[in-house]
Structure 1
Amino acid sequence: MSHARIRSDNRRMVGKLLVIALAMFGFGYALVPMYRAICDALGINVLSVAERQQPGMAAGKPVNTQVDTSRLITVEFDANARGPWEFKPAVRSLQVHPGEMATVMYEFRNVQSRAMAAQAIPSYAPKQATAHFNKLECFCFTEHTLAPGESKAWPVVFVIDPKLPKDVTTITLSYTFFEVGGKVPQAPAGGAVKATSAAMAWEPRT
């Protein structure tokens, strides 16, 4: 077989391979609109339906599909301090949608003349709300040591599970802040008088 015949056969083979490759590329490209059209017609293209219902997704903005905007839950905040110090929420209540992330600040001041170690324990009302109140960040996770007269403001970041029973419209989050025993030195003589004076001088923020 001559070299010319071999080159001719090779060119034909390369041409056939290019045609096949282009045909496969075109078929694959056409599969996308075909798949979308078929799935839309059958009602099984979940992504396409979600994009139409959430226009923010098309602009590249994430949308939290877990937020139940049809409900509003009132969350009340309470604070109890077992000891001579100041402890309170920055706000008394918030209204949030289930699934919506929210933040509330709690303020604390050690009005004693000594350092103290303390920790907060949360409680919930009604009780059935406990399993549905999810804290993402909370000062209650750890102990805290504060110097004499030191003030702190701590966040509580939370989300209420959309599975919260429909009859629950108000949740009370209450913290009890107590001193952890044996972690700090005893108060010096006259400390109670100084603590009382410091407490009277501090004006809580509203």
Structure 2
Amino acid sequence: MSEARSIKRLVIRLLLLVVVMFAFGFALVPLYDVMCKTLGINGKTGDKYEGSQVVDLNRQVRVQFVSSNNVDMAWDFYPKAEELIVHPGAVNEMLFVAHNPTNKAMTAQAVPSISPGDVAVYFHKTECFCFTQQVLQPGERIEMPVRFIVDRDLPKNQKELTLAYTLFDITARQPPAAKVASNGG
């Protein structure tokens, strides 16, 4: 009888451990986002810029654009230009090109990063293809816009920023059955 009781307690403890582990895993994503936003790490930016700013025409900031593919991503992916000279407070746009040269439909997700990381909070994306998954059919090519504002509160000694994207193949996680997005957004 004591052996059956001890097995029952063990099963209850293991089930409780599974529930706690699931809850912890579920809470990791929002905790990570809060931590990154608070500490300004991992290039998290002010994605939803609500303010309206006056353009500072007396100041210029160079924004460089870099793109790369994750190891298994076969697409061609690049910005239309390597850099833009912008005025803080102005709305700017850069187009990124994606082309699926394979013979199968694929789904991709772009992950942005800003460097230097400590000034990422001054970079506000108002529209970005990284907000949605991109589905391209074989041979399809699209131009995807990113619209952004460099905040007027960017420290005066900061003269350049780099916006980098890494493109990931997520076809296995999100099969391209339906076209999710055709032109970014």
Q: Structure 2-normalised TM-score? A: 0.63
Does residue 157 of the first structure (1) align with residue 147 of the second (2)?
A: yes
Corresponding residue for 1:27? none
State how far apart, in whole Å, the 1-side matches of 2:58 and 2:87 are.
8
Q: Paired residues, what number? A: 122
Does residue 182 of the first structure (1) align with residue 170 of the second (2)?
A: no
Does residue 119 of the first structure (1) align with residue 124 of the second (2)?
A: no
* Percent of paired sites with the same residue: 39
Q: Tell me by how many angstroms 1:81 deviates.
A: 1.3
Residues 30-87 of structure 1, C-alpha deviations (whole Å, 9 max, x = no match)? xxxxxxxxxxxxxxxxxxxxxxxxxxxxxxxxxx861111210000000011211100
Corresponding residue for 1:71? 59
State how far apart, in whole Å, the 1-side matches of 2:76 and 2:163 are.
18
State how far apart, in whole Å, the 1-side matches of 2:163 and 2:113 are.
6
Helix, strand or coil at the partner of 1:87: strand
Residues 83-122 of structure 1, C-alpha deviations (whole Å, 9 max, x = no match)? 1110000000000010011111000001111111111000
Greater length-normalized contact order (CA 8 Å, ≥ 6 residues apart): 2
State which drifts further: 118-127 or 176-185: 176-185
State how far apart, in whole Å, the 2-side matches of 1:125 and 1:131 are.
11
Q: Which structure 2 residues correspond to residues 85-96 of structure 1 after superposition, within 5 A?
A: 85-96=75-86
- Verify the 8 A CA contact 2:53 2:152 in the aligned structure 1: no
Amino acid at match of 2:123: F
Could you tell me which runs of 5 or more consecutive residues in structure 2 were left unpaired when the two chains were aligned: 1-51, 177-185
State how far apart, in whole Å, the 2-side matches of 1:184 and 1:67 are.
43
Larger Cα Rg: Structure 1 or Structure 2? 1
RMSD over aligned CA atoms reads 1.4
State how far apart, in whole Å, the 2-side matches of 1:65 and 1:171 are.
19
Q: Structure 1-normalised TM-score? A: 0.57
- Deviating above 6 A after TM superposition, structure 1's stretches of 4 or more consecutive aligned residues are none
